[in-house]
Structure 1
Amino acid sequence: MRTFRDRVRHALMFEAVALAIFIPGSAAVFDQPVDHMGVIGIASATIATLWNFVFNVGFDRAMVLLRGSVAKTMAIRVAHTLLFEAGLVVMLIPMIAWYLGIGLWAALLMDVAIVIFYLVYGFLFNIAYDRLFPVAPAAMPRGA
């Protein structure tokens, strides 16, 4: 298992590297000023982080109330992911449209592209992170 300190390093590196790629890359792809995409990137990352915390606390409380447990089936995990992303879209699309002075449709398409970027980036980042900072065998749970 990873330590708390390692989890903090992971989260900070994840966001720092993502923004270092996202800001200039999205400025070029979306033909927007770098400073505007910097605001979008930092605001979106901040909103997503806060929403992640609030949503997961609320989801777990709802699970306990409705099912008596936080144990999740595959169907519940899919619902959890879709509800989280839907909530994030509802928060981000109007902010992106307003800040960049674009329509809601354009903001939605931009958000879809951002989600795709983060899916690919997250997958690749975590592979690289695990290779750069492997978990010591003694820290791994039995049977892993």
Structure 2
Amino acid sequence: MRTTRDRIRHAVGFEVVGLLIFAPLASWAFGYELHQMGLIGAVASLIATGWNYLYNLLFDKAMLRWTGQLRKSVVVRVLHAILFELGLLVVFLPALAWYLNISLLDALVMDIAVAVFYMVYALVYNWLYDIVFPVPSLKHAAARPDGAAAG
């Protein structure tokens, strides 16, 4: 399992990099001012950071319980990203409609576009994060010739 410090690094890095990409891209794509998309992104980021920590902790515990390990196949990574974004979609839809003074349908279309962006981003970010910062027990197992976990 990952440590609390590692989970915090993961969540903060995910949100900072995501916001730096999201705000200018969303401003351009949706035609709103950069500061509006930046505020939406920042508030969403704060909520998503907490959700990211909790969701990944629960997902890892579920993986350990159901599979006995933490290695994620491509299919599991895609499922991981989709479930994460669905949770955020439920929270952000009413807030987005209210802040931009748009209909729930318009907010849904915008939210789906943002969710698709973040699903792809989450898949890539999490995959790269696991390569750069492997789970300690997996790193030790990979270093041993027999593939068994060290210790």
Same fold (TM over 0.5): yes
- Work out whether residues 2 and 139 of structure 1, in 8 Å CA contact, stay in contact via their aligned partners in 2: no
2:14 partner SS = helix
Across the aligned residues of Structure 1 and Structure 2, the Cα RMSD in angstroms comes to: 3.6
- Measured in 1, the distance between the counterparts of 2:129 and 2:17 equals 11
**So what's the TM-score if we normalise by structure 2?**
0.64
1:18 corresponds to:
18
- Distance in 2 between residues matched to 1:89 and 1:53, nearest whole Å: 17
Tell me which of 129, 138, 141 is aligned to 2:140. 138
**Residue type at the aligned position of 1:110:** M
SS of aligned partner of 2:47:
helix
Report the Cα offset of residue 128 of structure 1.
Answer: 2.1
* CA shift digits 1:86-132 (9 cap, x unpaired): x6434322211121122211110000011111110011112222333
Q: Aligned pair count?
A: 125
Q: Structure 1 residue 100 and structure 2 residue 100: aligned? A: yes
Gaps of 5+ in 1: 57-70
Percentage identity across paired residues of the two chains: 44
Distance 1:54 1:129 in 2: 17
1:1-144 equivalences under 5 Å are: 1-50=1-50, 81=83, 85=86, 88-135=88-135, 137-138=139-140, 142=148
Question: Taking structure 1 as the reference length, what is the TM-score of the superposition?
Answer: 0.66
Q: State the secondary structure of the residue aligned to 1:102.
A: coil
Deviation at 1:14, TM superposition (A): 0.5
Distance in 2 of aligned mates of 1:90 and 1:15:
19
Q: Secondary structure at the match of 1:2?
A: coil
Deviation, structure 1 residue 134:
3.7
Q: Is this contact kept in 1: 2:23–2:34, CA < 8 A?
A: yes
1:37 CA drift (Å): 0.6
- The secondary structure found in structure 2 opposite 1:32 is coil
Report 1 or 2 for greater relative contact order, CA contacts < 8 Å, sequence distance ≥ 6: 1
Q: Kindly provide the amino acid, as one letter, of the partner of residue 23 in structure 1.
A: A
Check whether the contact 2:8–2:53 (CA below 8 A) recurs between aligned residues: no
CA-to-aligned-CA distance 1:40-68 (integer Å, 9 cap, x gap): 11222233445677899xxxxxxxxxxxx
